[in-house]
Chains A and B, each alone.
Chain A
């Protein structure tokens, strides 16, 4: 892969406070174009807050955030049409069907691909004529991911996409993501706890703890470094994550982005 020098996501010095609580503390992060960047971290680390800053739901100040090379505070419509965001517990219009949603979403995204849409729906096994309110939680998440991927975005932001889903649904989600990633042109920033799924998808890894980015580097490089620390044996992502979260603060390894 020959990455675009312009990162898909560039965060510099971002700090977010909720009252006295510092949810994000001088976060600096870069997601290379074309990468699947998995941001791991314990509960309350600030992962969702970071994503909400990226989609503009939380004002960015102080700090700067740019998506696809544009300041998030002044994203032109053409750039927003290349972004997709799936929130944790994504809400969907409960009395509309997938077909209704597609009729609404397709005109919004010039890159909407009806063929991809149909293929994803078939892969996900989502009943397109059923109201989303009558769907299970897993099906709703699949619909949310379908709406995000069918738009053929350049950047996909995922917030805990696997939380609360059963194994079968997780597999379908992963398959759909892998299929789309294989087509190229997609950068992903996913905040999650689920290291098993991340291991299948991610090529970059970041660790957020107490609002600070502790590590951010290519996954293979982190594996090699961990393997060296742990005696040379192959390291699973779970072991790597546990090793990284035990590391003392300041051991940042922002990669060669």
Chain B
């Protein structure tokens, strides 16, 4: 038998030996995935794949090796004419198939259902699986080595190494667990550890699978504690779905009025605006653009990085090289646009060089890069309870009557709702929302309430912009009722019959992935140069 034949033979044998373990692990992984899913039409988050199943993968791999390693003197395989590499590869393949397989299949299915193209979903899943494999390999190696050492020291070493790898991963870029998953995981692992300790106390310390369970419980407890729910931050990003692209749509130069006090203007900077769109986003998803960089290359090979001073009005001032933008990708279009405003000193200087004919001053190439985060929607609905009892501790969405009932506290866009006035009716308390990764985006109308008969809807119209509400939950959001009342009346009373049977909907956005995209802006740069040059010539001729 050659190596591959021996590997296939060994895999068949090991698979038969571990068939119940494999089936059990697959069921467990899928169960975790299903439990964490929502009853709504959307798919569950990637939490099982990213966290719990990851821990299980690492530990499962160690368990496979520890169960019957070649180094064990009385092991069945000792002395058998099978290469150690074959045995190790077989154990690894089974560990991955039993634990990573179901998780990867689930993640792939979710991505596909998420309207990610098949190729992209496969690539993402394969990349994650490859990464998991790389993480598992050293743990398995160490576990096998530790078993040859024998005794508590060796197993302790294996546990520490496995815990170290898992912790490193979790501290790296893993998301926090949901509140439910965290509680369930803590209870389950604590119970498992307690059972193992009970066995130990009664001097019936189980060997083999019992030791593995103790390892699993200990490591699970450590890792789950590390994944305690916390506030969602911008760093909570998942592996990216591929297939997104950044496309430069159009360009406008000199849109901004020159301000003599503007340091960029004093330096001769030329403001220009790029319209950029993101293509390939899943329908209904939010694409968040972050950390945008523009690099321009001169003919002499030197690179200049212009300043990005403003983007879509969210950030102003001296924000160099980074901004954040959010927008909706309508389901039918799956694309959106991004407006970037740049006042580019280096570009302007380069243009001047070009106009003046200095060698080396011409810009030849430009690259715009950005991190794109895809956020998929999930709609949470809560029916209003009895007036005055809207705040329900522990619920994901807590609603309480608006504290400010004076009314007319908002600035409404009169062009759109002429004749309408607003009444504050309720406040959405987001403090209980961060139990799940994701956030409520308040810059778009993503939350609304409707009366029991479904005829009257109330939209979110007020946002406290003193904070970055999209990423810092716990902010009160005021709902306004739009009526045709001629006067700005007071807000609805807490016992207003409107609330009876009314429902509150919040479209929550969950992370769907992050990826870095780049776009070639060379043509845009050429147009900038030529248009600025022509403007300069016109000015000179005048």
**Residues 1-43 of chain B: 1 if any A CB is under 8 Å from the residue's CB, otherwise 0?**
1000000010011001100100000000000000000000000
Cβ contact within 8 Å between B81 and A85: no
- Contact (A87, B82) CB under 8 Å given A95-B17, A96-B17: no
- Cβ 8 A contact of A91, one of B13, B71, B75: B75
* Closest chain A residue to B12, Cβ basis: A104
Min CB gap B235→A, angstroms: 46
* A89 and B1 in contact, given A96-B16, A100-B16 (Cβ under 8 angstroms): no
Q: Say yes or no: is B80 at the interface (Cβ < 8 Å to chain A).
A: yes
Q: Does B206 make an interface contact (CB < 8 A)?
A: no
Query: Taking the nearest CB of chain A, how far is it from the CB of B147, in angstroms?
Result: 11
Kindly state the separation between the CA atoms of A133 and B489 in the bound complex, as whole angstroms.
81
Give the segment of A20-28, A75-83, A201-209 that binds chain B: A75-83
- Judge whether B9 and A81 touch: CB under 8 Å: no
A91 to B16: give the CA distance in the assembly, Å: 16
Question: Is A107's CB under 8 angstroms from B17's CB?
Answer: no
Does B68 sit at the interface, judged by CB under 8 A? yes
Interface residue B118 (Cβ < 8 Å from any Cβ of A): no
Complex-state Cα separation, A57 to B76, whole angstroms: 12
A84 in the interface, Cβ–Cβ < 8 Å?
yes
**Bound Cα distance from A108 to B68, whole angstroms:** 18
| Set A48, A57, A77, A104: member contacting B78, Cβ < 8 A | A57
Residue of A nearest to B17 (CB): A93
Nearest A residue to B68 via CB reads: A91
> Please, which residues of chain A bring their CB within 8 A of the CB of B16?
96, 100
Residue of A nearest to B82 (CB): A108
In the complex, what residue of chain B is closest to A81 when comparing beta carbons? B81
Q: Which residues of A contact B (CB under 8 A)?
A: 48, 52, 55, 57-58, 77, 80-81, 83-85, 87-93, 95-96, 100, 104-105, 107-109, 157
Contact (A92, B73) CB under 8 Å given A77-B81, A107-B1: no
The reply on B83 being an interface residue by CB < 8 A is yes
Contacts A96-B17, A104-B13 hold; do A77 and B83 have CB atoms under 8 A apart?
Answer: yes
Residue B357 is within 8 A (CB to CB) of chain A in the complex:
no
Ordered by A's residue number, 16 sampled pairs between the chains whose C-beta atoms are within 8 Å are A52-B73, A55-B79, A57-B78, A77-B81, A81-B81, A90-B74, A91-B75, A91-B76, A92-B76, A93-B68, A93-B76, A96-B16, A100-B16, A107-B1, A108-B80, A108-B81
A55 touching B78 in the complex, CB below 8 Å, given contacts A95-B20, A96-B17, A104-B9: yes
Cα–Cα distance between A92 and B13 once the two chains are bound (Å): 13
Given A57-B70, A87-B74, A87-B75, 13 more A-B residue pairs with CB atoms under 8 Å apart are A48-B73, A55-B73, A55-B78, A77-B83, A80-B79, A84-B79, A87-B78, A91-B72, A91-B76, A95-B20, A100-B16, A104-B13, A107-B9
| Complex interface: chain B residues within 8 A of A48 (CB) | 73
Cα(A92)–Cα(B73), bound, Å:
12
> Chain B's nearest CB lies how many Å from the CB of A186?
15
Expressed in whole angstroms, the Cα–Cα distance for A136 and B157 within the complex equals: 35
Which B residues lie within 8 Å of A109 (CB)?
81
Report the Cα distance A96→B70, complex, angstroms. 18
Shortest Cβ gap from B209 to chain A (Å):
11
A188 to chain B, nearest CB (A): 14
Closest 3 CB pairs of A and B: A85-B79, A80-B81, A87-B74
Complex alpha-carbon distance, A95 and B12, angstroms: 14
Q: How far is the CA of A87 from the CA of B80 in the complex (A)?
A: 12
Check B1–A87 contact: CB distance below 8 A.
Answer: no
Complex interface: chain A residues within 8 A of B1 (CB): 107-108
**Alpha-carbon distance between A87 and B75 when the two chains are bound, in angstroms:** 8
B residues 57-80 near A (Cβ < 8 Å) are 68, 70-76, 78-80
